[in-house]
């Protein structure tokens, strides 16, 4: 189905929330794609980082909600330090994650991790993983 673009969509609640939580001016992005070009995790992403930003620009909340990309972002900040417009893309990803996590939509279930896995993983991995992927 054709996507209808309107002021209602472009200014929807989701866009406002992403801007508020990330503190980033999404409209600065001119879609050069440098964030996606350097992203170390893009090979497992369904949407590239620039497509996430584009989806925010167009107010496509549902597409972002369905995407695994924000959860696969490792917050390595390569996109952030190389963005020609100074947008902190990693912050936008965090905002998108936070919107889901605050609705109690966790990406992983800590209780479901194998005992051996938990024993093998260093504390730094478990704490950071839970901090990023659960609410």
Residues binding another protein (CB under 8 A): 20-23, 30-44, 47-48, 50-51, 71-72, 74-78, 80-86, 88, 90-91, 94-95, 98, 107-108, 113, 120-133
Q: Which is nearer to another protein, 6 or 75 (CB)?
A: 75
Can you spell out the DSSP letters for 53-113?
HHHHHTT-HHHHHH-SHHHH-----HHHHH-TT---HHHHHHHHHHHHHTTT--SS-GGGS
Q: Which is nearer to another protein, 9 or 17 (CB)?
A: 17
Q: Least distance to another protein from the beta carbon of 40, Å? A: 4
Q: Least distance to another protein from the beta carbon of 80, Å? A: 6
Rounded CA separation 27/30 (Å): 8
Quickly tell me which residue has 């794609």 as its tokens: 33
Q: Which two tokens stand for residue 3?
A: 């996507």
Q: Least distance to another protein from the beta carbon of 6, Å? A: 24
Q: Which is nearer to another protein, 65 or 72 (CB)?
A: 72
Q: Which is nearer to another protein, 6 or 60 (CB)?
A: 60
Q: Least distance to another protein from the beta carbon of 109, Å? A: 10
Contact of 37 with 65, CB cutoff 8 Å:
no
C-alpha distances (whole Å) from 13 to each of 62, 75, 76 are 12, 25, 28
């Amino acid at each position: 189905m054709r996507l209808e673009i309107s002021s209602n969509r472009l200014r929807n609640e989701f866009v406002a929330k992403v801007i508020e939580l990330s503190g980033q001016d999404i409209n600065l992005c001119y879609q050069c794609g440098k964030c996606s070009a350097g992203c170390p995790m893009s090979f497992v992403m369904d949407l590239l980082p620039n497509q996430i930003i584009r989806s925010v620009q167009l107010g496509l909340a549902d597409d972002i909600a369905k995407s695994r990309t924000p959860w696969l972002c490792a917050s390595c900040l390569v996109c952030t330090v190389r963005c020609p417009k100074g947008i902190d893309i990693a912050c936008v990803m965090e905002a998108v994650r936070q919107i889901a996590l605050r609705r109690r939509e966790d990406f992983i279930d800590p209780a479901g991790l194998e005992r051996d896995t938990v024993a093998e993983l260093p504390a730094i991995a478990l704490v950071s993983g839970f901090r990023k992927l659960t609410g």
